[in-house]
Chain A
Amino acid sequence: GQQLNQSPQSMFIQEGEDVSMNCTSSSIFNTWLWYKQDPGEGPVLLIALYKAGELTSNGRLTAQFGITRKDSFLNISASIPSDVGIYFCAGHGSSNTGKLIFGQGTTLQVKP
C-alpha cells in the first residue's frame, strides 16, 4: 500500500531557531495534512493542503503541497518551548481507500 516517509525522526533545537520537516511518498497524494500531538493528547490538525503547489501559513507555521504531489514540508519559524511535541504528516493517497495515511512522526524538542 501507499506509505509516507517522514524526516527527520527527531529534532532538538534552541529556542528561536527555525525548523523544517518533510514527508515524501513514491506515489501521488491528493491531500496533505500536518498534525501536532502534545504529550498525552490526541493529534490536532495544524494545516491542510488540497492542491499541488499550494503554500499555506498558520501563524509561524508554513506548509507546502509539493508540485509533484509526492511530498510536503512543514516549516516552523522562531520556535518557542510550546512547539514541543510530535508532528505527523498525513495524506489521502490516489488509491482512494478513504483512510488517511500517516507518516512516522517527527519529535521536536526545544531548549529554552
Chain B
Amino acid sequence: AQSVAQPEDQVNVAEGNPLTVKCTYSVSGNPYLFWYVQYPNRGLQFLLKYITGDNLVKGSYGFEAEFNKSQTSFHLKKPSALVSDSALYFCAVRDNSGGYQKVTFGIGTKLQVIP
C-alpha cells in the first residue's frame, strides 16, 4: 500500500525567508509525486510534479521540490516566502509499478507566512 506523511500540521515563516514543507512517501514501486495548494475557499491547485529525470522540480509561483529516493522524501521549497503563499499544502503520491493506481494524499500542512 502507498502512503504519504506530512509531519508538520503547520509551518510558520517570516516573509522573505526560505520555506520548506516536508513530505515523505511509501510506495512499492517507483513514485509519481505531486504538490497541490489550497487557498481559502478555493479548490486544490496543482503546483508541481516529479515523474522522472532531474530530482529538482520547479513549479508554479516560484516553488520547487527535491525528490530524494534514499530518504523517500519530496520536500517543497521556496527561496523567499510571500504573505500570499499562506495556504494549505498537500503532498500526493501515485505508485508507478504498473496497473491502475489511485492517488494518495497527505493530511496537509498549513503554511503561515508572517509579514
A, B from the same assembly: no
Residues of A within 8 A of B (CB): none
